[in-house]
Amino acid sequence: MTNGAHIQTIGVSHTYKGGGTRALGQIDLEICPGEALALIGRSGCGKSTLLHILSGLSLPTEGKVLVDGTRITEPSPSRIMMFQAPSLYPWMSVEQNVGLGLRFNGKMNEAGRRIPEVLELVELGDYAKRNVQDLSGGQQQRVALARSLALKPEVLLLDEPLSALDAFTRHALQRDIRRICKDLGITLVLVTHDINEAVMMADRALVMKADPGDIEAEIRIPISGDRLPSMAAFGDARRELVAAYEAAAGMAMAEAQSFIPQDSLNTPTPIDRLAAN
């Protein structure tokens, strides 16, 4: 449908007013149209800062961001950011939340067709009239996703949008978001702490390190179609990413090992477990 945008950053660095340290060193990166990119790294390494700059919600202190060759200076409904909290408006129904972008951009004439369409896409077709406060966390995050998709964005920027969800919901949404973005050709940039999430969703992962925030390593994850933790290629990519992550974090192996199996995504589904026994 839409064709995702091409994104390029040139010498982007950022220092927060008041905060002395540089949040971002010097970032030069290029993201292809329709690509799914994961930014991964420990807390405070500048992932959210970079994502805000890509969206145009913040401007870098130095350098510039080009989207399809044009320098961006402000946010745009064609580059939608999603946060850890769904940030829905609690006084509005599901469809009002989803239609908000259309309303702001004078496209309410499309709402009748577009809102059911995106709600169907996130499998919430029957929930249009509900108040968003009556939905579960996962459903709320789906509404936020539908709201982000309603304006047919070229870029989706996700800042740990799934980290508050339970393992199964998260897994389902990781799969769905990747599918939707691939189907619609949306360029996806995903910030996460979670290595499995990166391997689930991204074509490429950039490992960042802090002080100042910088890109330390680049791992390609060439798996086509839906991904499952049980795939061999999944395991390979994850091992590679873990190694890069540890190198960037300067963190002991034991810490990382206990960190991964605990992570629910890696837990075999009940059927897998039965098959193994």
Partner 1 sequence: MSQASPITTREAGFAPAYSPGSSKAFLSENMKSRIGGGLESLGYTLAGMVLLLAVWWLGGRMVAASDDLYAFADFAPVPTLIRLTDMIRTGEAFQITVPSLFRIASGLFWAIAIGVPVGILVGAIAGFRKLTNVPFQFLRMISPLSWMPIAVMAFATWEGAIVFLISVAAIWPVLFSTASGLRRIEPSWFKVARNLGARPWHMLFVIILPAISQDILSGIRLALGVAWIILVPAEYLGVTSGLGYAINDARDTLEYDRLAATVVIIGVIGFSLDSLLQLAIAKLSWLRSS
Ligand X SMILES: Nc1ncnc2c1ncn2[C@@H]1O[C@H](COP(=O)(O)OP(=O)(O)OP(=O)(O)O)[C@@H](O)[C@H]1O
Can you give the binding site for ligand X, defined by CB under 6 A? Answer: 16, 18-19, 23, 43-49, 193, 213
CB of 234 to partner 1, least distance (A): 33
Which residues in 58-117 contact partner 1 (CB under 8 A)?
75-77, 79-81, 83, 85, 87, 89-91, 100-101, 103-105
Nearer to partner 1, 168 or 273 (CB): 168
Distance CA(50)–CA(9), nearest Å, equals 10
* Residues 189/148, Cβ–Cβ less than 8 Å: no
Nearer to ligand X, 45 or 265 (CB): 45
Distance CA(47)–CA(154), nearest Å, equals 20
CB of 2 to ligand X, least distance (A): 27
Helix axes 137-149 and 167-184, enclosed angle (nearest 10): 10
Tell me which amino acid residue 118 is.
Answer: V
CB of 78 to Mg ion, least distance (A): 23
Which residues in 31-90 contact Mg ion (CB under 5 A)?
48
Give the number of residues written for the chain.
Answer: 277
| Count of residues in contact with partner 1, rule CB under 8 A | 24
Tell me which amino acid residue 229 is.
Answer: P
* Nearest C-alpha neighbor of 225 from the set 240, 203, 197: 203
* Residues 149/121, Cβ–Cβ less than 8 Å: yes
- State the residues that interact with partner 1 by CB under 8 A: 55, 57, 75-77, 79-81, 83, 85, 87, 89-91, 100-101, 103-105, 131, 133-134, 147, 151
